[in-house]
Amino acid sequence: MRLDRFLTRLGTHSCKEVARLLADGRVTVDGTIELSGLRRINRFSRVKLDGEVLQDNPAVYLMLHKPAGYLSATTDPQHPTVMELIDHPSRDELHLAGRLDRASTGLLLLTNDGRWSRQVTEPVEEISKVYRVTTREVIPPETAAIFAEGIYFAYEDLTTRPAVLEILGGKEALLTIHEGRYHQVKRMFHAVGNQVLSLHRESIGPLVLDDTLPSGAFRHLSAAEVAYFRP
């Protein structure tokens, strides 16, 4: 929205008065005097008139190290949700940018910026997600080639995009996928006669779970991390 429209919509000043306020350098946007009413602002811009706050609703971007047992939802009548782990003043405004199954652990993103979360969940370009997986059976080396070919999911009538499987040991692997179908990783292993026992998301695109973040804790993303998914 244009700054002059924002100011006139407050209803306290006419268009003419708004033009004057701006010309007199009485309005700041994010801490800097703004002389032009054409300046575009959004709902996260901090706007002040004569030092008095007119709008201050900061954008919030968090990474959570999700523990097992919490639902990726904002409310649930039965199970604890990840929101219970978020002790933050903006908590009630936040939504999830992607999900993990209740038993899964690792990187989960929360924000109050819907445009940003759409870049994470509905990207124009593919975003890779890396999972550390442990399985019930030993993972045979040929599984990598099968996952690279793609697995047919009858329910959706589609074949998964080529995935990269790096077998780390008998029953442990890193799997990189480029989409997020329902229970995708579990279904891929199920399709080759194996079973996922634990699933931990390590990264989403270039954003890696902070290894100093204990399970159940969250932190703000840095400006550089936010910028990975700038709309």
The residues that are catalytic are: 101
Binding flag, residue 199, ligand URA (CB under 6 A)? yes
Binding flag, residue 139, ligand URA (CB under 6 A)? no
Residue 34 Cβ vs ligand URA, minimum distance, rounded to whole Å: 44
Residue 21 or 174: which CB sits closer to ligand URA? 174
CB 159 within 8 A of CB 153: yes
Residue window 92-131: x/- pattern of binding to ligand URA, with contact defined by CB under 6 A: --------xx--x---------------------------
Residue 20 or 136: which CB sits closer to ligand URA? 136
Among residues 60, 184, 194, 200, which is the contact residue for ligand URA, using CB under 6 A? 184
Residue window 13-52: x/- pattern of binding to ligand URA, with contact defined by CB under 6 A: ----------------------------------------
DSSP label of 230: -
Q: How far apart are CA 40 and CA 29, in angstroms?
A: 10
Binding flag, residue 161, ligand URA (CB under 6 A)? no
Binding flag, residue 186, ligand URA (CB under 6 A)? yes
Residue 21 or 192: which CB sits closer to ligand URA? 192
C-beta pairs of 82-90 under 8 Å, 24+ apart in sequence: 82/108, 82/110, 85/216, 85/217, 85/218, 86/62, 86/110, 86/218, 88/60, 88/62, 88/218, 90/58, 90/60
Q: Which is nearest to 176 in space by CA: 212, 202, 209?
A: 202
Residue 180 or 228: which CB sits closer to ligand URA? 180
Q: How far apart are CA 52 and CA 70, in angstroms?
A: 41
Residue 173 or 199: which CB sits closer to ligand URA? 199
Q: How far apart are CA 49 and CA 42, in angstroms?
A: 16
Q: How far is CA 83 from the centre of its chain?
A: 14
Binding flag, residue 135, ligand URA (CB under 6 A)? no
Contacts with ligand URA, residue ranges (CB under 6 A): 100-101, 104, 183-186, 199
